[in-house]
Structure 1
């Protein structure tokens, strides 16, 4: 089996104040790398880890683009692609006209920067970009995606955006100005997430997506016995080692999130067959 994995984890951001930095994202990326190597047979050379200043928009999106190019190239073949990202989620105004609430879901890279009232699209990965990339996925290639970010800000209140007393920090950064927040805070907004884009894709093959939370929730960056991780990633990596089906894995993760009083609920987007087979297994 020919494999490729890209693990992205960003704690520090070039243009954000330290108060907006995170603690567990780099650990997430390194922990996924270790699990892929020890539990799923990935060779070290097949895993790319991008953290902090190395995890720019061009580097992260470029690496995934190259992987899809390889998957489609004559004489080349990839059986299994893994993409994981631990970072801040955010929003920016929709320019393609495909979002009912006029905002796009986006994932912050190290070089996140402001452009006018909103974030610069060239400094983050937009849901539409990932959707278009995955639309090139050829039949027979398995793509497993793990996103440990907040995927929407449409229903987040002010209290959701500050650290809590038990050292949990939300993985969401709001648009940089009040004007840029207008769409994100629109009354009754129903933000579409990457999960929705995957579900409705007409591509020959679709990725299997594990997401840290629902669109109306925050994903927690949390302290576990003195070491930080995303709460979702922390429990997911334990569950993946059980060898259970993807459907059972998501149940295990959510049971642990509930037991530890995390409000977020992890999400799984996959076909019925994908849910009934183990993570990393073609179907």
Structure 2
């Protein structure tokens, strides 16, 4: 089996103040990379890890595009792609014209920067871009996606996003200005997530998506025994490396049980076909 993994973790951002930086995203990328090699047979040469300064929009999206190009190249025999993204999530007003009452969900890269009242689309990865990229997934290639970032689909009121504990903070950064927040809030409860786009896609093959939280929630960056991780990634890796979960569906149940036990309000989400939910993570279906 030919495998490729891209593990992205961004704690520091070129144009954000230190108060908006995160603590556990780089650890997420390193920990997922290590687990892929240890438990799932990924060779070191098949794993690309991009963190902080190296994780620009061009670098991250370029690596993902290269993976899908390989998957569609005859003779490459790329069987399994894993893409994991840990960073801030944010929103920006939709500008494509096909959803004028909604907003786009976006993944913040290292070079996130402002353009007018909103974030510059060239400095983050928008859900529409991921949807169009994943729509190129050919039959016979498994794509596992892990997103440990906030979606925050119902409202961007900054005061609601302040961490309630010193050892936990939300992986969400609102649009940079009040005008930008107003534009994004126009989407309200109608906001889609990548999960919605994957569900509605007519592509020949669809990725399996694990997401850290629902569209109306924030994902936590948290301290576990003196070391930071995304809460979702921390419990996901626990479930995967324990071997106790027989299927992806069981994995998500275990993750959410641990999130509840530790008093995290987020609830992890799984988007996959019925066969995908009933087979083990990393297994074709």
Q: Do structure 1's residue 253 and structure 2's residue 232 form an aligned pair?
A: no
Deviations 1:45-102 (A, max 9, x none): 0000000000000000000000100010122121000000000000111111343633
Q: Give 1:166 deviation, angstroms.
A: 4.2
Asked if the contact 1:90/1:153 (under 8 Å) is kept, the reply is no
Partner of residue 239, structure 2: 239
Q: Distance in 2 between matches of 1:156 and 1:180?
A: 10
Asked if the contact 2:102/2:188 (under 8 Å) is kept, the reply is no
Q: Do structure 1's residue 12 and structure 2's residue 12 form an aligned pair?
A: yes
Paired residues for 1:166-185 under 5 Å: 166-185=166-185
The residue matched to 2:78 in structure 1 has which SS? Answer: coil
Q: Distance in 2 between matches of 1:75 and 1:51?
A: 31
Asked if the contact 1:101/1:189 (under 8 Å) is kept, the reply is no
Q: Any stretches of 5+ residues in structure 2 without a counterpart?
A: none
Deviates more, 1:191-200 or 1:154-163: 154-163
Asked if the contact 1:68/1:137 (under 8 Å) is kept, the reply is yes
Q: Distance in 1 between matches of 2:169 and 2:128?
A: 27
The residue matched to 2:190 in structure 1 has which SS? Answer: coil
The residue matched to 2:81 in structure 1 has which SS? Answer: strand
Q: Give 1:156 deviation, angstroms.
A: 4.4
Asked if the contact 1:154/1:184 (under 8 Å) is kept, the reply is no
**Runs of 4+ residues over 4 Å off in structure 1:** none
Partner of residue 97, structure 2: 97
Count of aligned pairs: 283
- Normalising by structure 2, we get a TM-score of 0.96
Asked if the contact 1:102/1:183 (under 8 Å) is kept, the reply is no
Asked if the contact 2:195/2:271 (under 8 Å) is kept, the reply is yes
Partner of residue 145, structure 1: 145
Asked if the contact 1:153/1:172 (under 8 Å) is kept, the reply is no
1:269/1:47 Cα in 2 relative to 1: closer, same or farther (>3 Å)? same
Deviations 1:12-52 (A, max 9, x none): 00000000000000000000000000000000000000000
Asked if the contact 1:80/1:142 (under 8 Å) is kept, the reply is yes
RMSD of the TM alignment (CA)?
1.2
Deviations 1:151-184 (A, max 9, x none): 1353344343222224100000000111111133
Q: Any stretches of 5+ residues in structure 1 without a counterpart?
A: none
Paired residues for 1:212-231 under 5 Å: 212-231=212-231
Q: Give 1:187 deviation, angstroms.
A: 7.6
Asked if the contact 2:3/2:78 (under 8 Å) is kept, the reply is yes
Q: Distance in 2 between matches of 1:102 and 1:271?
A: 26
Paired residues for 1:102-181 under 5 Å: 102-181=102-181
- Normalising by structure 1, we get a TM-score of 0.97
Asked if the contact 2:153/2:188 (under 8 Å) is kept, the reply is no
